[in-house]
Amino acid sequence: KYTKFSIFYYWINSLDQKTFIYSRAENVAIPSGEENKTAALSYDHRIMPLENTSSTGMYYCEVKWNDIKKVGKGVFVLIRDTGYINTSYSWEILVTLTVLLAVLSITATALLLWKRK
């Protein structure tokens, strides 16, 4: 009963539209003496190349037996254009804050020394 099943790969975009990518039917032979035992089989599928940034979304694998359907948790894939530069300003902010604090510290020290004289 469980030796014949189908595997489906699909993705769901930001508009919740399901797009099937690939599917295949499997018929797994059970070796003699291995009946009524649980087995785990791995099936890898590589999706290459991803067309463009609109391919961003959740990618799923689904397996269907006669009356049973199991769906994986999914993997989120974020697609970026070639040459994309991640804009992170953390270093610039840190340097600016350090310079500002140094200038304020020097100014305050100079004012204290000038006020004493």
pTM of the full structure: 0.58
Compute the C-alpha angle 43/40/29, nearest 5°: 85
Model confidence pLDDT, tens digit, residues 37-67: 777 778 777 766 666 667 788 889 999 988 8
Neighbouring residues of 79: CB distance < 8 A, sequence distance ≥ 6:
50, 52, 53, 54, 55, 56
Per-residue pLDDT of 86-97, as tens digits, reads: 777 778 888 899
